[in-house]
Amino acid sequence: MTLKEKLYAHHISRASFLGTRVTLRQVSRESEAIYDLILALYAACAGDWKKLASESSVSEQDVQYWLQYATVFLGSLGNYKSFGDLKFVPRIPKAELRKLVEYAGGEARKLFDGVEEVMYSVVPEERNLIGYIDAGHVSAYYPDSPSITKAEIEEVQVVTAANGILVENTRLRKVSDSEFHLLFASADTTAPEGQKTEFVFGDGGKKKLKLVYGDYAELMKKISTECRAAAEYSANEIQRKMWEEYARSFDIGSIQAHKESQKYWVQDKGPRVESNIGFVETYRDPAGVRAEWEGFAAMVNEERTRTFGELVRRAEDFIARLPWGKDFEKNHFLKPDFTSLEVLTFAGAGIPAGSYPPLIRLR
């Protein structure tokens, strides 16, 4: 890549990884503290795990068990599997992990004290799965809301849908039986100009929904700054506008602005550096409407792109050989823009199977 392309990829990567703590806060209450514990133990030994084992009097096997847990945790960005949503616990005995923590001391000890029980807990069985809270499951999309029900979540969704409010970048908090706060991920802590922020619903309008902006504000501000930096190194005007819309989306908490970015994304044919970022996949929200943070940067594999580009070019010839008649095909085949990519950065709770390198880009 050219220096400009490297800088473009660099700022995209930073914007993507700055959302790590967003994802952690979307998984479980304890995930961010466990993440910090992993970092603290790594820092205590500067990555020299044999030294950690020796000086803490913990067997190398138990240290390996800790490393296995940390690896799965970092791959899922939380203590629930990124595919399957099932909780996993360390194989290292709790007493042995305590020795590692005592060796690290300071912040590590404080973090472990706060998450020790929940890290190892496997009862009740229902809490080992991400899902609706009133079914006994766990979901950080509904923070500080132990009594929120599936019915209430669906009630709120009816209100937001009726008022054209997009909720992919939100979490929902139950303040009381009659008040709910919809938390928007945004750098700004005030609502966009002209946005109505309070709605009534339920029998006789006895319930209130309030829109609250500034969820993850400190992170969204850093992310939008990196998006604007990426815009400065864009290859063309379409890319620049795309990154300006990304930044606007994260500044004001607007999914509509994110949709605008995707319109430019579709127009950006054959980029040397490919990317996307934001609140994208809704699989882990039990209601299926709130999306998890992810972002990636990838580079074009030019040789493979040429090879499969020829396949696309000759697609109409191949379609004619398929074992069915023209009546089962479109009148005109719309050739996609095809690019084969090698992933440089993928920030999120696990890379989807279809996005492992090489990643295929079709428009």
pLDDT in tens, the chain (363 residues): 999 999 999 999 999 999 999 999 999 999 999 999 999 999 999 999 999 899 999 999 999 999 999 999 999 999 999 988 999 999 999 999 999 999 999 999 999 999 999 999 999 999 999 999 999 999 999 999 999 999 999 999 999 999 999 999 999 999 999 999 999 999 999 999 999 999 999 988 999 999 999 999 999 999 999 999 999 999 999 999 999 999 999 999 999 999 999 999 999 988 899 999 999 999 999 999 999 999 999 998 888 888 888 888 898 889 889 999 888 888 888 877 777 888 899 999 987 665 544 444 555
* Amino acid 352: pLDDT: 63
Q: Cα separation of 105 and 209, whole Å?
A: 44
Both tokens of residue 284?
């882990």
Q: Cα separation of 363 and 146, whole Å?
A: 43
* CATH number for the domain running over 233-362: 3.30.540.30
For residue 203, which phi and psi values (nearest 5 degrees)? Answer: -60, 120
DSSP designation for 173: E
Which residues share a beta bridge with 293?
A: 279
Longest dimension (CA), the chain: 73
Neighbours of 258 (CB within 10 A): 22
Could you write out the DSSP letters of every residue in 267-321? H--S-SEEEEEEEEE-TTSTTS-S-EEEEEEEEE-HHHHHHHHHHHHTHHHHHTT
Give the closest residue to 104 by CA, choosing from 74, 66, 61: 66
Q: Cα separation of 25 and 313, whole Å?
A: 45
* Amino acid 354: pLDDT: 54
Q: Where are the domains of the chain?
A: 29-128, 233-362
* Amino acid 339: pLDDT: 75
* Amino acid 338: pLDDT: 74
For residue 307, which phi and psi values (nearest 5 degrees)? Answer: -60, -50
Both tokens of residue 111?
């973090």
- What does pTM read for this prediction? 0.89
* Amino acid 362: pLDDT: 53
| Cα 198–Cα 204–Cα 206 angle in degrees, nearest 5 | 50
